[in-house]
Amino acid sequence: MKKKLLACLLAGTMVLSMAACGDEKAPASDSVPSDSAPESVPESTPEPTPEPTPEAPVAEEASIDFEDGNMGFVSAYSKPADAAEVEMSIVDFGGSKALQVKNLTGKVPYVAIDATSLLGADVAKVASVELSIGVSYEDGSFNAVSGGLLAWSGEDLKETSDDWSVYLEKVNPKKQVATLSAGEEFIADAGNMLVVQLKTDNGVAAGAGNATMYIDNIRFLDASGNLLKADSSATFVANAMFESSGTDYVNLAYLANPVTFEGFALTGDGWAQNGLDMPQEIIDALVPGSVVQIEYKSDTGNMWLVMNQSAAGWKRVGCGPIDGCTEPSSYYNSGRTIAQITYEQLSAACGGDVSTFGPSMQCESDGAWEVFSVKVGQAAPYYAALGSEAVEFEGFACSGDGWAQNGFDMPQEFIDALVPGSVVEISYSSENNDMWIVMNQSAAGWKRVAQCNENGEGWATLVDGKCYITYEQLSQVCGGDVSTFGPSMQCEASGKWEVFGVKVGPAKEFKMMRDPVEFEGFACSADGWAQAGFDMPQEIIDALVPGSVVEISYTSENGDMWIVMNQSAAGWKRVAQQNESGEGWAACNGSICQITYEQLEKACGGDVTAFGPSMQCEASGKWEVFGVKVGTVE
């Protein structure tokens, strides 16, 4: 298009020049009769017309140009399963100050810009956002990158996206534009933001490593194109998209009835220990089935215990194969912010029950570390939320004061769904965050279930505003099968409470998993009901043993995920999706999916030799998988 325009301009210039010459009258002595032969004129090469020197681009005023060094209004967004850890700073780039975003883990950088805090009430005037995005690599090369400009708009933070790209080295950095169309408008006081996502990094495939991204000259414009002023001293305020959904218990046990180790907030360098003598309440909580939970950060992501005065001597517990240690590893959540070590691990290392542990407990890592808290509690299963496979207890919405019960008679379809392997899910809120069930007409009498554990039934799992109590817990307390439960189900808590809904469905338990083996190169995507995957390397086949679990890091339109074994001994098989082989359902939370060896074995018709050479993924909507691991279950 640009070349055609230039040609037209040149042609137009020639026409105008010819017209101008025709208007000038030649002197009489130079006139030539029309029948005379023209005088021969030797050819000459005209001097080339010099190209006009391009004008320097006019610097546009920006709402934010980073020249003042302020960046308190931006934050890394780490909630998506594919989110990278990033390091942000203000540096010189492209002739001015810019926000530098270094990718530390090789996943996808997400950087949120808090438009609400920057603009105040004027955020509602934003019609478009312009910003400059650049890229660099440590080896000095240039590689194309692209991504999305995600807008979180309105009260419900609806996400919409505009594409951006930097494909040419001579246009690096490049101006990018996000437009807020009808229905995408920002509104005041709703935490509306713009998120820059670097999705495709061609430098990785070229061997240049991960791209470093630069953001500069952010321009918030109204519908008339007028620049909106921003307060660069604003401080980022996290919105609901950033709110934690509670403790990340993936790969861990839920910690029930926890006791806090008071004062255990300590630091240390790599391979340095630090700790305290255990108070009596911690010693009393260390019983079979309990777990020590450590909330921490460390340079390497690792954390374990040292029992420096145990009956067996100075012992590391949970260090795994690090530095030649042969103890089983700690259990870690997916973000490596929580480590858990079981009573049984401590017992095996120290040589007996809690009396052999010694008076002191210390923490250690192979990199600089900081511990924020230590707790001891009972290990309870961590469940995935029930979905369409569950049966709703119609009309179960009620409330009560502390220690007051409220509930309803169970409808027949709910009773029919109460079968071995099922779990009751209660959506609730309460002053003290607790919740349990009362079966007021059971065969065993008036009974609280999963509250005081007086029948040895264990504790309720309380995660993300939901309470989970299994059929087996109800059965143990009520004295038999569902026929002993009685007609009524009630709820209760220790403080004022409200229940919004009750369901029952097949329990989908996330397993405690440690020592994961990575399925190298397992990153793929597909549309709904389409499969994609790879042949299994030998190390994955070797890791698939009884008691192991396959863990998939993913996103999908409908939140679901499962495995397809397309060459199993039993034929083409979906595993943990439609449950046609009685293998149970996958445990999925929208970013992590777990499927056990036993589920694979049941669907495929035998041990790992029956699984076939290939493993594929599938979901009911468009999906993407970022990684697959196989780990050990206690």
In angstroms, the CA 238 to CA 240 distance is: 7
- What integer pLDDT is reported at residue 26 of this predicted model? 34
CB 397 within 8 A of CB 503: no
**Region for 409 from its dihedrals, namely left if φ exceeds 0, alpha if ψ lies in -120 to 50, beta otherwise:** beta
- Model confidence pLDDT, tens digit, residues 238-286: 998 887 656 778 899 999 999 999 999 999 999 999 999 999 999 999 9
- Is the pLDDT at 543 greater than 70? The verdict is yes
Closest CA to 450 of 256, 284, 281: 256
Which residues contact residue 280 at a Cβ distance below 8 angstroms, ignoring those fewer than 6 apart?
none
- Is the pLDDT at 314 greater than 90? The verdict is yes
In angstroms, the CA 130 to CA 93 distance is: 18
- Model confidence pLDDT, tens digit, residues 496-540: 999 999 999 999 999 999 999 999 999 999 999 999 999 999 999
- What integer pLDDT is reported at residue 245 of this predicted model? 57
- Is the pLDDT at 469 greater than 60? The verdict is yes
Residue 59 binned pLDDT confidence (cut-offs 50, 70, 90) = low
- Between 578 and 46, name the one with better pLDDT: 578
CB 385 within 8 A of CB 504: no
Which residues contact residue 452 at a Cβ distance below 8 angstroms, ignoring those fewer than 6 apart?
none
CB 65 within 8 A of CB 230: no
| Beta carbons within 10 angstroms of residue 290's beta carbon | 23
CB 422 within 8 A of CB 506: yes
Closest CA to 495 of 432, 553, 552, 556: 432
What SS3 state is found at 201? strand
- What integer pLDDT is reported at residue 402 of this predicted model? 97
**Preceding peptide of 411 cis, ω within 30°:** no
Find how far residue 591's CA is from the centre of its chain.
6
- Is the pLDDT at 42 greater than 60? The verdict is no
- What integer pLDDT is reported at residue 60 of this predicted model? 84
In angstroms, the CA 252 to CA 334 distance is: 9
Phi, psi of 193 (to 5 degrees): -145, 165
pLDDT exceeding 70 applies to what percent of the chain? Answer: 90
What is the helix (H) or strand (E) element at residue 199, kind and residue range?
strand 193-201
- Model confidence pLDDT, tens digit, residues 63-86: 999 999 999 999 999 887 788 889
- Model confidence pLDDT, tens digit, residues 410-456: 999 999 999 999 999 999 999 999 999 999 999 999 999 999 888 99
pLDDT exceeding 90 applies to what percent of the chain? Answer: 80
What is the helix (H) or strand (E) element at residue 91, kind and residue range?
strand 86-93
CB 425 within 8 A of CB 390: yes
- Is the pLDDT at 21 greater than 50? The verdict is no
Which residue type sits at 532? Answer: A
Phi, psi of 267 (to 5 degrees): -135, 165
- What integer pLDDT is reported at residue 479 of this predicted model? 94
- What integer pLDDT is reported at residue 38 of this predicted model? 37
What is the helix (H) or strand (E) element at residue 108, kind and residue range?
none
Phi, psi of 345 (to 5 degrees): -65, -45
In angstroms, the CA 533 to CA 627 distance is: 11
- Between 322 and 293, name the one with better pLDDT: 293
DSSP symbol at 289: T
Q: Between the CA of residue 619 and those of 281, 505, 519, 559, what are the distances in Å? A: 47, 20, 19, 8
Return the structure tokens found at 448: 């609280």
- What integer pLDDT is reported at residue 85 of this predicted model? 87
Residue bearing tokens 């790969």: 251
User: Which neighbouring-strand residues pair with 324?
Assistant: none
| Beta carbons within 10 angstroms of residue 9's beta carbon | 9
- Model confidence pLDDT, tens digit, residues 559-575: 899 999 999 999 999 99
Residue bearing tokens 């808290």: 373
DSSP code per residue over 315-379: EEEBBTTGGG--SPBPEE-TTSSEEEEEHHHHHHHHTSSGGGS-SEEEEE-SS-EEEEEEEEEEE
Residue 28 binned pLDDT confidence (cut-offs 50, 70, 90) = very low
Which residue type sits at 151? Answer: A
- Cα distance between the two ends of the chain: 65
**Preceding peptide of 38 cis, ω within 30°:** no
In angstroms, the CA 383 to CA 532 distance is: 27
Residue bearing tokens 């140009």: 65
